[in-house]
Amino acid sequence: MPTKLTDNVLSWATDLDEKTREQAERSASLPFIPGPIALMPDAHYGYGATVGSVIPTKGAVVPSAVGVDIGCGMIAARLDLVAGDLPDDLQPLHGSIARAVPAGVGKGHWDVVDDDMPDLPVTAQRGEAWWTDKLARKAREQFGSLGSGNHFVEICLDEADRVWIVLHSGSRGVGNQLANIHIDGAKDIMKQRAIELPDRDLAYLSEGTAEFDAYIADMLWSQRYAMGNRQRMLTLVHECVERFLGRTVAIVDEINCHHNFTELETHRIDGVDTEVWLTRKGAIRARVGDRGVIPGSMGAQSFIVSGRGAEASYQSCSHGAGRRMSRTAARKRLDVDTLRAEMRGKAWNQRDAKRLIDEDPRAYKDIGEVMAAQADLVTIEHTLHQILNYKGT
């Protein structure tokens, strides 16, 4: 159940530092927010707005609250396999996935397959000067690629030892480019109009303007790109599993969900049904029956959930465990030997352990505590534990 931090901030987080709380309060002070901001159990300090926050706005949107990885999210698919169908050593499968799915900053496919990629965004179609042939090519090359940071591909087992593919990624370099164009544009508008903000990164776009319409169109395109990107990678990983086992393997269940987006929704605020732009930054939609994927960190459990439709959280829940340490702090404070011990018995990027230290489970909140804190927001359908983890560096 939530804690009321201020009149305009509700929090489900049991592990919330002062810096993050202050950031949420700054966001909540914007004049076009008609109801409280909801902080999810994984809430932590972010760029512009708090990661793990749900923000209702009326007549405006804040591009940095959606973030620079528009449409980032999760896809999970249960295969017609159980643990006994897999060999003990999955490192060769890890290598196959690494060859099929490019990962890392700026990485993409040499052999471009973009049949399922959405048409270029309206910004490109308008002939904006920044949209070059080079960037259009990047969008095609990176379609079906992972990226870096906390993005990953996993093979997991559930409570009945059934096999799942779980994958986390977003709109890659092109989504980042689109986001930053609109974030910078919003900042320019604030400067031109001498609008003072509690944080310059909370620059906003007003509904009814050309800039607002362009952002919404490009954001929706980035969501489609991100969802298609995950779907394409799922296909590539599924094919790797089939080649590895030498037989056809069916997908019997699948969930694909965003956790960085804004959408026009109606919610009950102060007893009145109110239409708002609802921004979920590091949060997934959890209406009654909505299914979602909530991952832990490397080596930790992940969860397949269904929403409970809690109106206090605007029908939302967490998107993961949430960081406890910044990447810089993790690199300074954590050691490779403990990371290797945490990942013992799993197939993973063992040679990259030093470069993955900022993804060490100790840099994240306890996923068990996060799930317990949102028992009123979601119902757990399946509990997964990873047996293979592939990341970009």
Residues with a catalytic annotation lie at: 319
Total residue count of the chain as it appears in this document = 393
Q: Which residue has the tokens 């969930």?
A: 255
Q: Which residue has the tokens 């949107």?
A: 61
d(CA 339, CA 180): 34
Give the number of other CB atoms < 10 A from CB of residue 335: 12
Question: At how many degrees (to 10) do helices 91-100 and 210-245 cross?
Answer: 140
DSSP 113: -
d(CA 36, CA 272): 14
- List Cα–Cα distances, 159 to 29, 232, 296, 303, 316, in angstroms: 44, 27, 16, 11, 25
d(CA 291, CA 302): 14
Burial of 208 (0-12, 13-18, 19+ CB in 10 A): exposed
Our measurement of the distance from residue 243's CA atom to the centroid of its chain's CA atoms, rounded to an integer in Å, reads 29
Helix (H, G, I), strand (E, B) or coil at 122: helix
338: alpha, beta or left? (left if phi > 0; alpha if psi -120 to 50): alpha
Q: Which helix (H) or strand (E) element contains residue 329?
A: helix 327-333
d(CA 301, CA 336): 21
Helix (H, G, I), strand (E, B) or coil at 364: strand
